[in-house]
Amino acid sequence: MARRNQVVVLGLVLVAIASVVLLISWSSDDRNIVRELEEEPTLTVYVNETGEIKEMKLEEYLAGVVAGEMFPDWPVEAYAAQAIFARSFTMDFVSQGGVKDKYGADVSTSIEETQAYNPQAVTEEIRRGVEMTRGEVMTYGNRYVRGWFHAYSGGITARAKEGLDYQEEEPPFTKSVRLPDNEHVPEDVKAWQVEYSAAELRNLLAPRGVNVGEITGVEITERGPTERITKILVKGTQGEQEITGPEFRLAVDSTKMKSTLVREFAFENGVLRIAGTGYGHGVGLSQWDAFMLAKEGKSPEEIVQTFFEGVTIRRIYD
């Protein structure tokens, strides 16, 4: 039961992070050019809970981030791979101005603004994982990569346009990766199902601008290359309206409709039944697959490069 609760919490984390990441795309402006540094950066961290600003070294901050984004008792190589992602995200985020305009700081402890941060959950294994990849960042074309990640791929990852309804040009480093069966994934993540009544759907979709009266039908109108739902048509007594798959999932609670990689999607007798696999948007690093790869002896760098195309990992300070 504890692990199941952890999975739900992680799902909430991933939803919030996805919302932040969608706002800031990978770009080619000069601010995120990767440069060698003489020493480890010192960050200013706005603590949302107290309103104070703390100074801390980047690696100290990253330990709290990894603790906030991954489970306890995972292989150290999985922590180390996540640390590369978090370090790359942070360096890119700070290069774009961070939260200076809002708080006068580089980052905040809010998951909705920056990344998950839970220093109370830092373990020796997490510290070791962060230290293993000290100074390492993901780069593409000599720029920091803003790397996406999610809980579980369902056996195949997606590119950004499919998994996130990414509105800009597809970043050159994303790719779809097919992965072997993963015995480590919790059963309620590998195979899940959920039901919604027509009334529930109407209430959940209205805040997203879907207002078709009493709902009489819901159907998939488009799937992407990995068979994830990309478009859904909602029919009602006052017309019909299309919504993207990723937006629909967020609207109906992404801890229940855990992904858009579904095998059953049927609206009958006023009830929508959905069954599928995976947890999260499916783009970039799959955390449970990183767990599997770590168990198989892959290095943190090998794990990271499994999920992205043409990415170079560079150490920018000692």
Cβ 227 vs Cβ 165: under 8 Å: no
Q: Which pLDDT belongs to residue 149?
A: 86
Q: Which pLDDT belongs to residue 30?
A: 73
Q: Quickly state the pLDDT bin for 27 (edges 50, 70, 90).
A: low
Average pLDDT of the residues in 220-235: 98
Statement to judge: residues 83 and 133 lie in one domain: yes
Q: Which pLDDT belongs to residue 11?
A: 42
Statement to judge: residues 128 and 106 lie in one domain: yes
Strand partners, 17: none
- The two three-digit tokens of residue 287, written as one number: 């955390």
Whether 224 is covered by a domain: the verdict is yes
- pLDDT, one tens digit per residue, over 264-296 is 999 999 999 999 999 999 999 999 999 999 999
Q: In what order do the strands lie in the sheet with 107-108?
A: 53-57, 42-46, 107-108
User: What span, in angstroms and rounded, lies between the C-alpha atoms of 47 and 107?
Assistant: 9
Whether 169 is covered by a domain: the verdict is no
Whether 103 is covered by a domain: the verdict is yes
pLDDT more than 70, % of the chain: 91
Statement to judge: residues 262 and 291 lie in one domain: no
Give the residue with greater pLDDT, 225 vs 6: 225
Statement to judge: residues 110 and 17 lie in one domain: yes
- pLDDT, one tens digit per residue, over 170-210 is 999 999 999 999 999 999 999 999 999 999 999 999 999 99
Cβ 156 vs Cβ 224: under 8 Å: no
- pLDDT, one tens digit per residue, over 28-84 is 567 788 999 999 999 999 999 999 999 999 999 999 999 998 988 999 999 999 999
The answer for 61, left when phi > 0, alpha when psi is -120 to 50, beta otherwise, is alpha
Statement to judge: residues 10 and 126 lie in one domain: yes
What is the count of structural domains for the chain? Answer: 2
Burial 185-220 (b: 16+ CB within 10 A, else e): bbeebbebebebebeebbebbeeeebebeebeebee
**DSSP string of 92-135, one letter each residue:** HHHHTTTBHHHHSBSEES-TTTS----GGG--HHHHHHHHHTTT
Q: Is the pLDDT of residue 238 over 70?
A: yes
Statement to judge: residues 142 and 270 lie in one domain: no
Q: Which pLDDT belongs to residue 6?
A: 46
Whether 154 is covered by a domain: the verdict is no
Q: Is the pLDDT of residue 16 over 80?
A: no
Statement to judge: residues 311 and 210 lie in one domain: no
Whether 161 is covered by a domain: the verdict is no
Statement to judge: residues 42 and 17 lie in one domain: yes
Question: Tokens 């992404």 map to which residue?
Answer: 254
Residue 9 lies in domain: 2-149+285-315
